[in-house]
Amino acid sequence: MTAPIISLQNIDVTFTPKGKTIHAVKDVSIDVQKGDIYGIVGYSGAGKSTLVRTVNLLQEPTAGSVIINGETFFSKVDGQAKTQIKGNELKEKRRKIGMIFQHFNLLNERTVEENVLFALENSKDKEADKKKKVEGLLDLVDLSDRAKQYPSQLSGGQKQRVAIARALANDPEILISDEATSALDPKTTRQILALLKKLNQEYNLTVLLITHEMEAVKSIANKVAVMQNGRVLEKGSTLDIFTKPQAELTKEFIATATNQDQAIEAISQSEAVEDLTNGQIFAQLTYSGNATNEPLITSLYQNFGIVANILYGNVEVLQDTEVGSLLVILSGDTTNMDAALDFLAAQSVSVNILKGEQA
Ligand SMILES: Nc1ncnc2c1ncn2[C@@H]1O[C@H](COP(=O)(O)OP(=O)(O)OP(=O)(O)O)[C@@H](O)[C@H]1O
């Protein structure tokens, strides 16, 4: 595997406001490969923003190493500062890491094209070239007809597209998106995510996607890290995390993103689940790829005499792979049930027992 474009190693960030100590980030290590859309998901206060701000040293880590494109931006290990880029060098490097935010951070008294041009104020290019560049960027984000308008005349989605054009002005290889869709409605969110995906695919832009919405991760990220209380609880490919989540928090995020929490809640109150008898299990089965095509339910009956009553089923496509989810009541002999659950595990079906003897 090639060297990561972003390598955060054992990052700690501690704040000490008024003598109080806040461990915002605790021993976080993340490697992002070029071309990844890497989601970092967690609730408010989990430490996501603080962590990503260490990538361009807007936030200096208390300890750890920040290595971008093989170059050590910062390293402090065992209390010893080893490397830290500063001053103009840091400013120069920062320009190669674009950032977009929840509230767009546009200059309200400047037009759309002036906002984008502003990012090029340190560029030594000729004015005519800069103008051309801005035109190209506005074309890219489909806002050419709004060039002379002011931010107040734009919708939230359009403002975010101006911010994206501005973030791309210095040809960054990395784009940090910090809750960029959190203030947008669902349809506009989908459009902005589609634009990020397009930039990723067509320009090989690496995207760090900070969000509290697993839905956003599901739709465009190929990798994801789940954060809570400053720590990464688990990380991996989006497909793996969605099909085999380990941490309770991850399961919660996924249930919300796939609307399964609503299905589980509704079905949990159904008569069939309320009146679960001995030997019955109410479970969620999640499976991907080949397993989707396996006649699982038939196998359970034929091989183990276990009857599966399907109460809810859903299939979606994640990273070009089908991911299926079933809410079922499994009924049958206890010994056979154990064997059936082992069989499901061997078929790479993740079984989450929601109610019943083995829960
Ligand atoms: N400059 C600061 N001084 C003191 N505490 C801070 C500072 N910045 C962040 N924190 C604290 O660090 C913790 C992590 O905050 P952070 O903003 O990174 O979380 P987050 O996951 O990005 O959440 P949000 O989406 O709400 O910003 C919080 O407890 C926050 O109050």
Query: How is residue 167 written in tokens?
Result: 């973030």
Q: Where are the alpha helices (DSSP H) in the chain?
A: 48-53, 87-94, 112-118, 127-140, 156-168, 186-203, 214-220, 238-243, 248-257, 260-268, 271-274, 290-293, 296-304, 334-346
Residue 206 Cα to ligand 1 midpoint, Å, equals 24
CA angle 278–283–288, rounded 5-degree value:
150
The CATH number of residue 262's host domain is: 3.30.70.260
Residue 45 Cα to ligand 1 midpoint, Å, equals 5
Residue 124 located in a structural domain: yes
Residue 252 located in a structural domain: no
Question: Model's pTM, two decimal places?
Answer: 0.88
State which of 219, 247, 275 marks the end of a domain: 247
Tally of domains in the chain:
2
Residue 137 located in a structural domain: yes
Instruction: Report the percentage of the chain scoring pLDDT > 70.
Output: 98
CA-closest residue to ligand 1 atom 6: 15
Residue 1 located in a structural domain: no
CA-closest residue to ligand 1 atom 5: 15
Residue 26 near residue 12, CB atoms below 8 Å: yes
Residue 109 located in a structural domain: yes
Q: Are residues 211 and 276 in the same domain?
A: no
Q: Are residues 17 and 160 in the same domain?
A: yes
| Cβ neighbours of residue 236 closer than 8 Å, sequence gap 6 or more | 223, 224
Judge whether residue 40 has pLDDT over 60.
yes
Atom of ligand 1 nearest to the CA of 49: 22
Q: Are residues 88 and 198 in the same domain?
A: yes
Q: What is the pLDDT of residues 136-193, one digit of tens each?
A: 999 999 999 999 999 999 999 999 999 999 999 999 999 999 999 998 999 999 999 9
Residue 59 near residue 230, CB atoms below 8 Å: no
The CATH number of residue 153's host domain is: 3.40.50.300
Residue 53 Cα to ligand 1 midpoint, Å, equals 11
User: Of residues 254 and 36, which shows the higher confidence score?
Assistant: 36
Residue 215 located in a structural domain: yes
| Cβ neighbours of residue 186 closer than 8 Å, sequence gap 6 or more | none
Domain enclosing residue 292, as ranges? 258-356
**How much is the pLDDT for 321?**
85
Instruction: Report the percentage of the chain scoring pLDDT > 90.
Output: 66
State which of 217, 247, 277 marks the end of a domain: 247
Confidence of residue 359 (pLDDT cuts 50, 70, 90): very low
What ipTM, to 2 d.p.?
A: 0.95
Q: Are residues 303 and 217 in the same domain?
A: no
What are the counts of helices (DSSP H) followed by strands (DSSP E) for the chain?
14, 15
Confidence of residue 358 (pLDDT cuts 50, 70, 90): low
Residue with tokens 């915002």: 24
Q: Are residues 38 and 170 in the same domain?
A: yes
Residue 47 Cα to ligand 1 midpoint, Å, equals 6
Residue 253 located in a structural domain: no
Q: Are residues 95 and 191 in the same domain?
A: yes
